[in-house]
Structure formats: C-alpha cells, structure tokens
Amino acid sequence: MKPTYIIGTIVVISIILYYFFRIRTSQLSYRFATLLKLFLESDNKIKIDIKERDFIILSRYSKRGDLNIYLLQSNNIISIEVEFITAKKHIKDYEWFFCSTENQTQIYGEIISYLNTKHQYYILNNKPLGKVNTDDHKMLLSDYNAENVFCNAFKAMKLFDKEEYISFRSRFEIIFFNNVLLYSSLSNNNYSSPIHKEDMFRLLILYLENHELLDQVDNLEDFLEKRFDLYSEQAQMLNIKTDYDFSLLYNSFFLNPLEPQAKFNSKSMVKNNFSHLMLNMISGLSACITSFL
C-alpha cells in the first residue's frame, strides 16, 4: 500500500473516531441535561470542567475550598459523586447511585437535601424546584432487577452516620452485604424472577472500577464467590438469631475490607454504635422488601 493511501486511511479513521466520540459526548450531555442545568444554575461559579464520552466533571474553585461533581452513566445506573476539598486540603466525599429512569429533578433535590442535612452548604440552590416528592426517594423496589437492587443496597448504606468519612473499600463491603441481603430475602420469598448472582457481581465490579480498587483484590472471581457465601450465611443468621453478633461484619466492613476471608477475626470488638447502625440499615432494607412484596 502506498504511503499516500496509508495517510488517507489514517485521516479517514481519525475523522470517524472524532465524530464517534463527539456524538457519544453529546449523548451524555443530553442524558444529563436536567441535572447539568440544575447544578450549573445552583451556583454561577460552577462550570463544566471536563466533558468526556463516559463522564462529565463540574468544578467550582474558591478560597473556601474546591468543589468537584462527577457525573457518570453506565449499566443503566447514574453515578454522582460530590467531592469537596477544604482550604486545608481535607477531602469530604459523597456519592449516589440512581437508576437511569429516575426523575433528574428529584435526584438533584435529594442530593441538595442530603448535603444540607449534613450541614455542608457547598452547593447553593438558588432556583426553586417547586414541590419535590421526597417519598419517591425512599428505598423502594419498583422493579426487581440487578440495577434497582444495587441502588437500594447503596441507599441503605447512606443510613450510616458520617458516611462521607467511610472509605470506598468499606463502602464496597457494606453495599455487597446489602445486595446479598436483598437478594436472599427476595429469593426466600419465592419471587418468580430472581436476579442472577452474576448481574450483582457485574455492578459490584463496576463500583470497584470506578474507584480504582480492582488491583487491590487478589483473584477477583474467587473473592466475590467467597464473600457472597459469607454474607449469605450472615444474612441467614440474622433471621434466626435474635442476639446476632455483628463483630464479623464490623471486621469485614472496617478492619479488613477487600481482604480474604481467612484474615477475618470474628472476635473483634464491635465499636461505637455499629450494632445500632446495622439494625437501622437492615430495618430500611426490610421496609424496602415489604413494599415490593
């Protein structure tokens, strides 16, 4: 092939790739249109910092600290992360997962409400949203699929106090356990179309990828299977033991997240009000299951 043909082919391929990625970026902006509009109007200092084919980053820089908002959609799930870096370089990180079919105005309202509840006035809601039905954002399995189960499992994790200080490794473990608890409960109720365990794993792996944690897990497939078995066993014990000891879960969530089962110490002391927080989270998940059944 002559050099001119090679150069011509490269140019054509480059043009095709350029328009492909441009279309993908435009599609992402279109999918996030309402959220982008609301975030940008909430503070005139917030600007679109990076716009790629898979994600969009909004940023605001000020003397009080920097604000970054990450918007990502994958596997029919909207991922939103709000990161605030204080003037002293302390980082507070909040995240949400929603099914892509959820109303974006209500998603925005929930995020603002949550941040205000946490007394973190990093985003100023200058535009009235009208009446937002907050009941729509209670944990509810309106459709039994892996994405809906994952989003509800994550929402229950946010019942923990000071969630912004929980590491992503620990968040993963809590979300994993909640997924298994929902999965087991719905399967035990003989629901006709249970989700596949592989679908659960697919979304959990996505969470690890989003937070660059995959390389911290040895033998991923083996780890997921053993963790699933462990959490399934604990979910069953919760149903039959009124005096269930949360030590093993505390160890798994906070002392040895992403570590092999062999390193667990079931005699570790449960600290602070972990048992109370777990019961509160499980109560939320139980209400979610009851509302579906």
Rounded distance, CA 72 to CA 91, Å?
20
Rounded distance, CA 93 to CA 103, Å?
23
Can you say whether the dihedral through the CA atoms of 282, 286, 292, 293 is positive or negative?
A: positive
> Helix, strand or coil for residue 92?
strand
Contact criterion met (CB below 8 Å) for 98 and 62: no
pTM of the full predicted structure?
Answer: 0.79
Contacts (Cβ under 8 Å, ≥6 apart) of 47: 40, 58, 59, 60
The pLDDT value given to residue 271: 58
The pLDDT value given to residue 136: 42
What residue ranges of the chain have pLDDT lower than 50? 10-25, 126, 128, 130-139, 262, 266, 268-269
The pLDDT value given to residue 139: 46
Beta partners for residue 18, in sequence order: none
The pLDDT value given to residue 51: 84
How would DSSP label each residue in 227-262? Answer: HHHHHHHHHHHHHH-TT--THHHHIIIIISTT--GG
- CA distances to 99, 139, 156, 292 from 172, rounded to whole Å, are 18, 19, 12, 24
The pLDDT value given to residue 31: 84
What single letter denotes the amino acid at residue 103? N
